[in-house]
A and B are shown apart, each in its own frame.
Chain A
Amino acid sequence: MFPAVTHRPRRLRHHSSRFTPNVVGAHNYAVTPMAMQTSPEQPAQVRTIARAIGQWIDRLGVVWVEGQVTQVSRRQGMATVFLSLRDKLADVSVQVTAPRTLVDAMSTPLVEGASVVIQAKPTYYENRGQLSLAAREIRMVGLGELLARLEQRRQLLAAEGLFAETHKRPLPFLPRKVGLITADNSAAERDVVEVGRRRWPGVQFEIRHAAMQGVNATREVIEALQRLEANAEVDVIIIARGGGSVEDLLPFSDEALIRAVHATSTPVISAIGHESDTPLLDLVADVRAATPTDAAKRAIPDVVEESARIQQARERIMRALQVRLSGEQQYLHQLQARPVLRDPASGLSERSEQIEALRQRVTRAVSSMVERSANDIAHRRARVQALSPLATMARGYSVVQRPDGALVTAIDDVEIAAQLLIRVADGQITTEVTGKESR
């Protein structure tokens, strides 16, 4: 008998009654006449014992084993992955060998700490004297399976396009009403309402309470969502919950809820505070907020800040206009102050000065001309006077003229009885020819 082998089924039965049929089956083999006849004189060889152990273990057949993966060794180029599988309660471990293809095909990566159920055949490796469970199938259980299922759903819905960026609707700047879906009297509700009121005292909430965890959560959240969607005044919907475990948040990954949110025309903000394991709601929502407070900040503008911004803009516009206006005014004043406009008479007086100057030049020219003529006349008159016979006449000479004015210079110039004019210094005498004689 091999004590280790006979004890093992008992321990297995004790810790994991699920596998009782196999263990019992194995136990049956234990009572079959396998015992070898050995003695100090006739010892069995190692190979014989190893083969016997191997054959015995082989008879255990295929079993399902549940445990926690404590170690994963994946060596480059090796077709086998070695796992350490530990009992969930007792400090008992067993080695598992799994084909690399099996491990790689898992939808969730097999990591240390994962709870798994393995379908395996206990196998004894004779050359190293090592027992190992040769895995044929590995399934995640508990959290691992949940996450794997979520991941699978995420991939399907993503492929369907439910999470596409093109579906994301912008949030309204100033919502008429803010729809809020949250648990009655929850911290999330208080956070959203308080932060919202602080930012905009006039904000109006339309609050629908729903179970935010448990079996009714999905249905109640969908109902609340549909009622808020039906309310035309609700411009944005916040789904808020203050975090929780992956299991708590499962309703927010429910396919029915994801599709309901996708079908909603009102923008939806997801505020299911959880960092690591994103509920699918976060992906389908139009905006993902880290916390309910964050959701309130995104949905509701800070009115004080906004009005300050508007005021600032108005002041800048006014200043710009005033600067422009005074600049233009200055320019216009400059134009008006130019001499041509300010004193239009200056052009006229300039012109009249020109005219005056011309007039003076004309006057000067004319008067000098007149003066020159006068001088000329006086000169000529003097010369005429110098040539006058009057002085001679004053000495007693006189000039005799016929009535026609011709001077009498010879006796033949006159006839007897003809009238004659005798000019003397102070006048003239009229006489008649009474006789003539030649010298």
Chain B
Amino acid sequence: MSDKKLSYEQARDELAEIVRQLEVGGAPLAESLALWERGEKLAQIAQAHLDGARQRLDAALKKASD
């Protein structure tokens, strides 16, 4: 599955898993760095989903109040 097709929930849950792994520690450095990069990317995807939802909601509210 390409990252662009990740749903908000998928991105969010994977991000939470990465945080857990990083917090537990113990992974080799290279792997930890890769996890962190992945986490950044997932956070961006999740945030983009939320921003999109917020925009749609705001647009709907604006339309409703017009």
Contact = CB atoms under 8 A, between A and B. Distances in A.
Nearest to B11: A332
Contact of A340 (B8, B23, B29, B61): B23
Given A325-B53, A335-B43, A344 B36 contact: yes
A344 B40 CA distance: 10
Which one of B8, B33, B50, B64 has the greatest number of beta carbons of chain A within 10 Å?
B50
Given A332-B12, A341-B40, A318 B60 contact: yes
B57 A322 contact: yes
Contact of B16 (A325, A335, A344): A335
Interface string A329-354: 10110011010110010010001000
B29 A329 contact: no
Interface string B18-47: 010011000001001100100110010011
A53 B58 CA distance: 105
A356 interface: no
Contacts of A314: 64
B6 to A, nearest CB: 14
Contacts of B43: 332, 335-336, 341
A340 B22 contact: yes
A321 B57 contact: yes
A318 B61 CA distance: 8
Contact of B50 (A325, A338, A340, A341): A325
A329 B16 CA distance: 14
Contacts of B23: 338, 340
A329 B39 CA distance: 16
Contacts of B39: 340-341
Interface string A303-324: 0000000000010001001100
Contacts of A328: 8, 12, 50
Nearest to A314: B64
A341 B57 contact: no
B8 A335 contact: no
Contacts of A318: 57, 60-61
A349 B65 CA distance: 53
12 contacts: A318-B60, A321-B53, A321-B57, A325-B50, A328-B8, A331-B12, A332-B12, A332-B50, A336-B43, A338-B19, A341-B39, A347-B22
Given A318-B61, A347-B36, 20 more contacts: A314-B64, A321-B53, A321-B57, A325-B50, A325-B53, A325-B54, A325-B57, A328-B12, A331-B12, A332-B12, A332-B50, A335-B12, A335-B16, A335-B19, A336-B43, A338-B23, A340-B19, A340-B39, A341-B43, A344-B36
Interface of B: 8, 12, 15-16, 19, 22-23, 29, 32-33, 36, 39-40, 43, 46-47, 50, 53-54, 57, 60-61, 64
Interface of A: 314, 318, 321-322, 325, 328-329, 331-332, 335-336, 338, 340-341, 344, 347, 351
